[in-house]
Amino acid sequence: MVAWKNLDTLTSFEDLAKTERVNLIEAMTGENGAERVKKYSVPMAEGFVYNYAAKQVDEEVLTAMEKLAEEAQLAEKFEALYNGEVVNTGEKRLVLHQLTRGQLGDPVVADGVDKRKFYVEQQNRIAEFANKVHAGEIVNADGEKFTTVVQIGIGGSDLGPRAIYLALENWAKKNGAFKMEAKFISNVDPDDASAVLNSIDVAHSLFVLVSKSGTTLETLTNESFVKDALKNAGLDASKHMIAVTSETSPLAKSDDYLAAFFMDDYIGGRYSSSSAVGGAVLSLAFGPEVFAQFLEGAAEEDKLSAKKNLRENPEMLDAMIGVYERNVLGYPCTAVLPYSQALSRFPAHLQQLDMESNGKCVNRFGERVSYPTGPIIFGEPGTNGQHSFYQLLHQGTDIVPLQFVGFKNSQLKNDVVIQGSTSQQKLCANVAAQIVAFACGKSDENRNKNFEGARPSSIIIGDEVTPRTIGALLAHFENKIMFQGFLWNINSFDQEGVQLGKVLAKRVLAHETDGALKEFSDLLNI
């Protein structure tokens, strides 16, 4: 049995806090630095490495972290999770998103069903459906093929699938895997749906309505918006729409949809990219084989997350360093900086994944914790960010730990040599340069040109953004966040913080307000 304890009650955490701080400038300068880069590197799946040489760790700190990982029973907690224990204690639910891509432990039976079989079955049903759409066996009323797929969903039903679609769109075009263009409608702002509808040919579009509960107001509103548009175009909406939902939702058996594919309560929205939520739109866009490769990549990384030894487990290590930075060094933010334009919306997905999971101030027993938990996460692709907010990262008054991601190769292999190097080489040179610039800084008598350094960063380095690598990368962050939740002793799998706003918004719409809320409603002409 695992014991759920607050971080500040663990002896090994106190010991970790007492270790000597690493002087990053000294550590990363000269041969010392070269040695660290070789040493502080751990292999990930799909050819990735996680390199943490430029983090404020050394043997003493790492040894203390190993003890904390053990005392906090991180490996045992993950094992309990993937073997089907009720880890989402607030909602009394299992946490099974890893099971959508592989089985790490015992068969997990819930509601009388082998859940691995259930997820595979949904994946297969989606594959069959997508293949029929691509083959022209499922067509529109005029017998013509669908060319566009439009996901209607918000939060977890939008950010993850959208980030992955954008990551693979050009790869798929280059590699003959591009089947249908995908678009996304998420915001309740009517301009979002209008703009998407104006940009597509609705007669050849298939809409994927995604809502686990079947009650998400934004999503149902946008569904009606789309149905109106289809009707106005003289089309039968039920022939243009599929649903991804839970089997118990009102959408599950409705005649309003061509087909319904299922997820369940054991998969949180923000963890649903590898379930039917990502599966439907990505299989339609790129073919089921591509989606299967994405799942394989994620499954390979999950296996590494199950390793007991901190220094062989990239996710546990990354999580531990993050907690050290948050709770010992006191840094409140983390920037995620992928050096790949394909990952343009990956930071936005990670922002949700991390902040919605670990932005909690009560532990899993409902007690207020007295230490900081989840950090603020933000980021943009490099090199764009270098010409934007990096100024603050280098010379601002606060230190922001950094998480770089870099790839040796471009996706499209279309490149140009300028001043003796390709664009891809320039991209990689920049990320290498940034790590060292942040860590070591540079003294200058003109303090305006002075770089204090000692800004910690890690980097995940891979070969190329492909379905398999994006799967592994996603699993890395999902599992990192899970381990951090374990360390903070919080429930990373609920999101009670979204409720109050919903309740008050309903009250505004019902005109049942007073005080400030009524005044703001008036100002906004509601």
Residues numbered 491 to 510 that lie near its own copies (CB under 8 A) are 491, 494-509
Q: Which residues pair with 42 in a beta bridge?
A: 50
Shortest distance, position 105 Cβ to its own copies, whole Å: 28
Shortest distance, position 77 Cβ to its own copies, whole Å: 19
Decide if residue 37 touches its own copies (CB under 8 A).
yes
Decide if residue 437 touches its own copies (CB under 8 A).
yes
Shortest distance, position 207 Cβ to its own copies, whole Å: 15
Decide if residue 381 touches its own copies (CB under 8 A).
yes
**Residue 484 vs residues 89, 350, 492: alpha-carbon distances, Å:** 16, 14, 9
Closest to 335 in 3D by CA, of 259, 406, 429, 404: 404
- φ, ψ of residue 23 to 5 degrees: the values are -85, 100
Shortest distance, position 437 Cβ to its own copies, whole Å: 4
Decide if residue 368 touches its own copies (CB under 8 A).
yes
Find out whether 219 and 183 touch, Cβ atoms under 8 Å. Answer: no
Shortest distance, position 515 Cβ to its own copies, whole Å: 4
Tokens of 177: 């895997």
Residues numbered 191 to 230 that lie near its own copies (CB under 8 A) are 191-195, 198, 217-218, 220-222, 224-225, 228
Decide if residue 392 touches its own copies (CB under 8 A).
yes
Find out whether 400 and 393 touch, Cβ atoms under 8 Å. Answer: yes
Decide if residue 148 touches its own copies (CB under 8 A).
no
Q: Which residues pair with 50 in a beta bridge?
A: 42, 460
Residues numbered 245 to 264 that lie near its own copies (CB under 8 A) are none
Tokens of 357: 């999971």
Among 128, 189, 201, 312, which residue sits at the site for its own copies (rule: CB under 8 A)? 189
Q: Which residues pair with 41 in a beta bridge?
A: 51
* Closer CB to its own copies, 109 or 526, in the complex: 526
* Residue carrying the six token digits 């104006």: 198
Decide if residue 389 touches its own copies (CB under 8 A).
yes
Shortest distance, position 241 Cβ to its own copies, whole Å: 16
Gap between the Cα atoms of 420 and 118, Å rounded: 54
**Residue 15 vs residues 20, 51, 490: alpha-carbon distances, Å:** 10, 24, 21
State yes or no: is 92 an active-site residue: no
Residues numbered 262 to 291 that lie near its own copies (CB under 8 A) are 269-270
Tokens of 413: 């292999």
Angle at CA of residue 222, ends 220 and 223, nearest 5°? 60
* Residue carrying the six token digits 């866009």: 285
Q: What is the DSSP string of 223-271?
A: HHHHHHHHHHTT--GGGSEEEEEETTSTTTT-TTSSEEEEE-TTS-GGG
Among 26, 170, 180, 305, which residue sits at the site for its own copies (rule: CB under 8 A)? 170
Q: Which residues pair with 207 in a beta bridge?
A: 150, 241
Query: Contacts with its own copies: how many residues (CB under 8 A)?
Result: 161
Tokens of 329: 């060094």
Choose, from 502, 506, 512, 519, the residue flagged as catalytic. 502
Decide if residue 168 touches its own copies (CB under 8 A).
no
Decide if residue 351 touches its own copies (CB under 8 A).
yes
Decide if residue 47 touches its own copies (CB under 8 A).
no
Choose, from 18, 38, 92, 387, the residue flagged as catalytic. 387
Choose, from 218, 325, 356, 380, the residue flagged as catalytic. 356
* Closer CB to its own copies, 309 or 443, in the complex: 443
Find out whether 75 and 91 touch, Cβ atoms under 8 Å. Answer: no
- SS3 call for 512: coil
Decide if residue 147 touches its own copies (CB under 8 A).
no
Decide if residue 90 touches its own copies (CB under 8 A).
yes
State yes or no: is 97 an active-site residue: no
Closest to 202 in 3D by CA, of 160, 147, 252: 147
Among 122, 424, 458, 469, which residue sits at the site for its own copies (rule: CB under 8 A)? 424
Shortest distance, position 146 Cβ to its own copies, whole Å: 21
Decide if residue 124 touches its own copies (CB under 8 A).
no
State yes or no: is 476 an active-site residue: no
Q: Which residues are catalytic?
A: 356, 387, 502
